[in-house]
Amino acid sequence: MPDVVVIGAGMVGAACAYYAAREGLSVTVLDRASVAGGTTGSGEGNVLVSDKEPGPELDLAVLSCRLWAELAAEAGEPGGFEHEPKGGLVVAESDEVLRALTELAGRQEKSGVATRPVAADELARYEPHLAPGFAGGVFYPQDAQVQPMLAAARLLRRWPGVALRTGTEVTGLLMDRGRVTGVRTSAGDIPAGAVVNAAGVWGGEVAALAGVTLPIMPRRGFILVTEPLTARADGRPLVRHKVYTAAYVTNVASDSEGLETSAVVEATQAGTVLIGASRERVGFDRTVSLPVLARLARQAVGLFPALADVRAIRAYCGFRPYCPDHLPVIGADPRAPGLYHACGHEGAGIGLAPVTGLLVARHLTGAVPELDLAPFRPDRFAGAAA
């Protein structure tokens, strides 16, 4: 009998398994599909501090950013998952936006975020191909990226105490006098000391198996991928950092149901440029939306005019798991002892995976967590009593 069963082999489940095993626990990870087959395989790998308002999520992000660097370093440099601490450049369209951005940066500093103001005439030093006319920006050296699918797969392999079973669906939870004592799966029952719900956007369904509610819903995002670009004459990529406009900051926290896009443009090690991502609440609808792709393209070309002649070869969409207050659910569920949640990370589940795994491991071993988990409590939602 494993100490812990983790439901979900996405980035978050992989990180939970990693940190739990590091504490000496034996862990079985179950996924009905494959490693990284859920949202982890249909998003991007930005590890961002720049896009978050000061508050509990930014605290998570700052710690997580550091953990990512440690995870990468531990396995010999890029960590087998293309960790690249390239930094993010946020640019402002107008003086007014620049003032708001600079003010935000000042507040972020207090949470441990390093920021560097970039004057209009300095922008080209960071991004030589950036369109002219921006009022200035802020550079965030901590922003990084990883290849999330490889990261999930590799972290699951780091500790021998982790057993992975793909193609295994959790269909029920074993309960004993209100306590969760294991899982019922398509391949039989697995009793366990504790069960971690890392089922991402399906986290609410898993919670329901224990008779508790988690209001996790999908928020669709599209991403455009270009043809691989050949190296420029100077041997450097066309896009050097993560680049986006300050409008992004207002979008992330938005409650709007409608389409919002604010393209983050970045180059990957495969030579392609990723342009993402839109945010829409349309349920689990995979139908291609050309207007969304067109909007992303326009924003990307607006940032980097040279992209106009670059071809998009691919587009895909995924579903961010979001909660009404845009914070993840992390920690023990007082309504169902034995059940721990690690889901609902919306558009930041890759970035926040390590810190989530670390905090869940602390809970599992009874140690004191590095951060106050109160804002992420599973029973914080109004009317969420079982």
Partner 1 sequence: MTGHDAAYDLAVVGAGPAGLAAAGVAARAGLRVALLDAGARVGGQYFRQPPDGFHASRPGALHHGYSRFVRLRDGLGDADVLLGHRVWAVEPAAGGGFAVHCLKGGRERATTVAATRLLVATGAHDRVLPFPGWDLPGVMTAGGAQALLKGNLVVAGRRVVVAGTGPFLLPVATSLAAAGARVVGVFEAGGRFALAPRALTRPGKAVEALGYGGRLARHRVPYKGGRAVVAAHGAGELTHVTVARVDAEWRPYRRGHETVRCDTLAIGYGFTPQLDLVAQLGCEIGADAAGGPAVRVDRHMRTSVPGVYAAGETTGVGGADLAELEGAIAGRAVVADARGVPAAGDPAAVRAEVRRRRLAAFADALLRAYPVRDGWTSWLRDDTPICRCEEVPYRRVREARDLGAADARSIKLLARPGMGWCQGRICGEAVARLAGEDPGPPRRPIAQPVRLGDLADMDERTSDDDA
Among 87, 182, 276, 357, which residue interacts with ligand FAD (rule: CB under 6 A)?
276
The values of phi and psi at residue 185, to 5°, are: -130, 170
Q: Which of ligand FAD, partner 1, none does residue 13 bind (CB under 5 to 8 Å by kind)?
A: ligand FAD
Give the whole-angstrom CA distance, residue 341 versus residue 378: 7
If we measure between CA atoms, which residue out of 212, 223, 179 comes closest to residue 343? 212
Tokens of 328: 């993840």
- By CB under 6 A, residue 210 contacts ligand FAD: no
Tokens of 6: 């983790």
If we measure between CA atoms, which residue out of 59, 345, 384 comes closest to residue 198? 345
Q: Between 217 and 246, how does the x/- string for binding to ligand FAD read (CB under 6 A)?
A: ----x-x-----------------------
Q: Which of partner 1, ligand FAD, none does residue 131 bind (CB under 5 to 8 Å by kind)?
A: none
- By CB under 8 A, residue 35 contacts partner 1: yes
Size of the site for partner 1 (CB under 8 A): 46
Q: Which of partner 1, ligand FAD, none does residue 386 bind (CB under 5 to 8 Å by kind)?
A: none
Give the whole-angstrom CA distance, residue 212 versus residue 12: 21
On the 0-12 / 13-18 / 19+ scale of CB atoms within 10 A, 308 is exposed
Give the whole-angstrom CA distance, residue 193 versus residue 6: 11
- By CB under 6 A, residue 204 contacts ligand FAD: no
**Identity of the amino acid at 364:** L
**Identity of the amino acid at 5:** V
Closest approach, Cβ 297 to partner 1, in A, equals: 4
On the 0-12 / 13-18 / 19+ scale of CB atoms within 10 A, 319 is buried
Q: Between 302 and 341, how does the x/- string for binding to ligand FAD read (CB under 6 A)?
A: ----------------xxxx--------------------
Is-contact 281 219, C-beta < 8 A?
A: yes
Among 22, 23, 26, 41, which residue interacts with partner 1 (rule: CB under 8 A)?
41
- By CB under 6 A, residue 79 contacts ligand FAD: no
Provide the binding-site residues for ligand FAD, judged by CB under 6 A.
7-13, 30-33, 37-40, 42-46, 169-170, 198-202, 206, 221, 223, 276-277, 318-321, 343, 345-351
Provide the binding-site residues for partner 1, judged by CB under 8 A.
9, 33-37, 41, 149-150, 153-154, 156-157, 164, 166-167, 224-228, 270, 275, 286-288, 290-291, 293-295, 297-298, 300-302, 307-316
